[in-house]
Structure 1
Amino acid sequence: MARAALLSRFYRPLFALSLAAMLVSEPAWAGAVKEIRIAVPDIGAGTTPSGAGVMDVLHEQKLFEKEFEKDGIKIRWDYFKGAGPAINEALANGQEDFAYLGDLAAIVGKANGLDTRLLSATQRDIKLYLAVQPGSGITSLETLKGKRVAIFRGTATQLSFVSALASKGFKESDFKVINLDYNAANAALAAKQIDATWSGAGVFALKARGLADVPVSTADLGGAGSVQTVLVGSGAFVDQHPELVARLLKAQQPAVTWLRNEANKQAYIDLVSRLAGYPSVIFASDAADQSFASGFDPRLDASFVSNLQRSADQALQAKLIRKAVDVKTWAEPRFLDAALQSTDNAPQASR
């Protein structure tokens, strides 16, 4: 009986989530499309939202708006401070058509029954960092063991931390893990309420003010814990409006091409810095040794699919999900492949 009750408690929310998605799917897609809704995790620290990467370039250059304005279709950008978990809830409730997500959030949604289609890679091998109190003596994951460390659960950051720890033979239970979003974690570290946080480039803002040291990155771990990001589409939207999906992927490509031009690296750093409200030195430090040409490769090629499958398998092993995800069957590269084939100087299609 105890086992049955446990299973019931676990599967009941998943069933409710899937049922909610089915109930809203029919009216959500009835009639002509008047609006395309796009969800983005908000990394901004100021008054303007930012998702970084291709999302900020798309938003700034209004490429989607220009593509669909002749049809009277509006583009609605929804930025979520709650990141992946909040976006998955919105997808389940039929409130979004597309979402730019980190690997874990996309995987969790798929494993929990969300009907999404994996449409494009958006960034590869994103570095994450360990930020610690200055003078703490924490210089490695080994010396972090047993300390208070903040991560944003349910996001790519959590899977990154799990992967980084596994590379050194550790697991989450070896540490005092506290669930905080990125801004709250930075504030807690600055106030010396925690010993460390595992996070993105935003921790360099603390370092610049002398409030943190950054002794470890995923690059120092041979890439263990690096993050991938993706574009997913609602299955209902993809099935009922494939022509709009094709146009959206094609309209995304000029932003990708601009990003992959190394001559635009400083312009990109300035753009994200302005939108996110962080000093440009933060993103300059993060991007200094990165190849944008490879990092922003959009293809769902064998390498990307393999890395994403590895992330899905690790999420299952770490019990972050309860159901396996087959990335190959999840991926739907036909729209991106068509966009790449029609774009000059684009990489070869995914297959």
Structure 2
Amino acid sequence: MKTPLRHLITAFSLFGLIALHAQAAEPQSIRIAVPDLSAGSKPSAGGVVDVLRDQQLLEKEFAKDGIRIDWRFFKGAGPVINEALANGQVDFAYLGDLAAIIGKANGLDTHVLSAGVRGVKSYLGVVPGSGIKTLQDLKGKRVAVFRGTANQLSFASALASQGLSERDLKVINLDFNAANAAIAAKQIDATWGLSTLLTLRERGLVELPVNSRDLKGAGSTQAVLVGTGDFIRQHPDLTARLVSAQQQAARWLQDDRNREAYVNLVATTANYPKLILEGDLAGENLAHYFDPRLDAEFIGLLQQGVDLAAKERLIRRSFKVSEWVEPRFLDAALQQQQATQAAR
């Protein structure tokens, strides 16, 4: 006996509704990927991540729904996190600018939901007594850079500001810990890195002749929170709540009265010397440094990064950051914050 066509249509329609409902069902956990920058046994990424985890802001927000926050720290930084995003293993990620740009350029369905930090200083570390005083002095030298991460893009930016490119040097791909060990052992001439180089300077193992502030911002790095298109489309309400909870951490970070507490937090979590963290943040306007807004300035910085990555062939082609950012969740969180403050 043949099944009438209308019955088949009805069955397929019901199946579609069931599938759609299954897709929209609340997840058991929200999976967040983070680069692990810790020098100790406990994972740490600094910034908004360490504040979120210390204050349990996301856990408290989603506890009433029975949704667990699954923090996933990766020592392999951006490249490994992009693999996790591509394989559907995480829903959100805190990433440096280049890793996020590479992922998007390679077809990852991600959206930038907020800035994480802007204008992070990078430093040129050189072997003491090497005579290297400027970036021009690096021509033909062995320089360690962490490829595939924001470190590589910031170095390209610093070099470009002086009319140079990686092709003028002998670039060696090493992560931060390996690069620090290599320069301490004088196996390389220089490295482009972050504030951990200040520790080596205190021990007399490196000189730091140049940083991105000396270059008027060229070579600084940015970080972003990205979400997967699938999660945002299926759970816009959860995405909005996550961004709103993150804004509590951002607001805490932007308050200069919490500067010392923040330094103590990262020093304890990441096992970094307080002196190093204080030195790295010295002179920083925290309200600007941790500004989460996807404003014209930040979008411009990201676009410069995209265009430079394309020019340096780190990605195949440029793209428009304005079509990548998704500011509506953060805008709503900021409006809610302003309304709450006005009502007090």
TM-score when normalising by structure 2:
0.91
Structure 2 contact 24–235 (Cα < 8 Å) conserved:
no
Matched, 1:89 2:98: no
CA distance in 2, matches of 1:137, 1:41: 34
1:131 counterpart residue number: 125
Q: How many angstroms apart in 2 are the aligned matches of 1:109 and 1:323?
A: 12
- Contact 1:54–1:255 under 8 Å retained in 2: yes
Q: In structure 1, how many angstroms separate the alpha carbons of the residues matched to 2:283 and 2:339?
A: 24
Letter in 1 for 2:126: V
2:187 matched to which residue of 1? 193
Contact kept, 8 Å, 1:127 with 1:200, in 2: the verdict is: yes
Q: 1:5 is matched with which residue?
A: none
Q: Which residue of 2 aligns with 1:239?
A: 233
Give the residue type in structure 1 aligned to 2:230.
Answer: A
State how far apart, in whole Å, the 2-side matches of 1:239 and 1:247 are.
14
2:282: which partner in 1? 288
Match status 1:175 vs 2:179: no
Q: 1:211 aligns with which of 184, 189, 205?
A: 205
The answer as to whether partners of 2:26 and 2:235 remain within 8 angstroms in 1 is no
Which among 302, 316, 328 is matched to residue 322 of structure 1? Answer: 316
Aligned position for 2:160: 166
How many angstroms apart in 2 are the aligned matches of 1:146 and 1:281? Answer: 34
Task: Render the CA deviation track for 1:102-147: whole Å, top value 9, x for unaligned.
Answer: 1100000000000001100111111100011111111110112211
Give the aligned residue type for 1:334: R
1:8 corresponding residue in structure 2:
none
| Identical-residue share of aligned pairs (%) | 60
Offset, 1:66: 0.3
Deviation at 1:334, TM superposition (A): 0.4
**SS of match in other structure, 1:275:** helix
Instruction: Name 1:77's counterpart in structure 2.
Output: 71
> What's the counterpart of residue 59 of structure 1?
53
Q: Does 1:155 align with 2:149?
A: yes
How much has 1:346 moved relative to structure 2? 9.6
Cα displacement (A) at 1:95: 0.3
Question: What is the alpha-carbon distance in structure 2 between the residues aligned to residue 197 and residue 269 of structure 1?
Answer: 25
> How much does 1:303 deviate?
1.0
Q: Deviations over 1:33-77 (max 9, x none)?
A: 110000111111110111111111001111000000110000011
Structure 2 match to 1:313: 307
Q: Which residue of 2 aligns with 1:50?
A: 44
Counterpart CA distance in 2 for 1:63 and 1:169 is 45
Instruction: Give the 3-state SS of the residue equivalent to 1:232 in structure 2.
Output: strand
Residue of structure 2 in register with 1:299 after alignment: 293
CA gap of 1:346–1:225, structure 2 versus 1, over 3 A, is farther
CA displacement, residues 202-254 of structure 1 (integer Å, 9 cap, x when unaligned): 11111111111111000001111111110000100000000000000110111
RMSD: 1.6
**Alpha-carbon distance change, 32 to 206 in structure 1, aligned in 2, over 3 angstroms:** same
Q: What secondary structure sits across from 2:337 in the alignment?
A: coil
Number of residue-to-residue matches in the alignment: 321
CA contact (8 A) 1:29 1:237 kept: no
The corresponding residue for 1:39 is: 33
1:117 aligned residue: 111
**Alpha-carbon shift at residue 344 of structure 1 (Å):** 3.9
Most deviating of 105-114 and 204-213: 204-213
* Higher radius of gyration, 1 or 2: 2
Specify the SS of the correspondent of 2:213.
helix
> Distance between the aligned counterparts of 1:55 and 1:345, measured in 2?
25
Shift, 1:32, TM fit: 2.9
1:337 equivalent among 310, 326, 331: 331
* SS of residue matched to 1:236: helix
Mapped to 2, the partners of 1:86 and 1:237 lie a distance apart of: 20
* 1:42–1:81 contact (8 Å) kept in structure 2: yes
Residue type at the aligned position of 1:225: G
| 1:77-111 alpha-carbon deviations (Å, 9 max, x no partner) | 11111000000000000000000001100000000
Q: CA deviation at 1:323?
A: 2.5
Contact 1:97–1:234 (CA under 8 A) maintained in structure 2: yes
Amino acid at match of 2:94: Y
Name stretches of at least 5 consecutive residues in structure 2 with no aligned partner: 1-19
Q: Structure 1 residue runs of 4+, over 2 Å off?
A: 28-32, 344-347
Q: Tell me what 2:17 maps to.
A: none
User: In the alignment, is the contact (CA less than 8 A) between 1:163 and 1:314 conserved in 2?
Assistant: yes
* Residue 12 (structure 1) aligns with: none
Taking structure 1 as reference, are residues 68 and 127 closer, same or farther at Cα in structure 2, changes over 3 Å only?
same
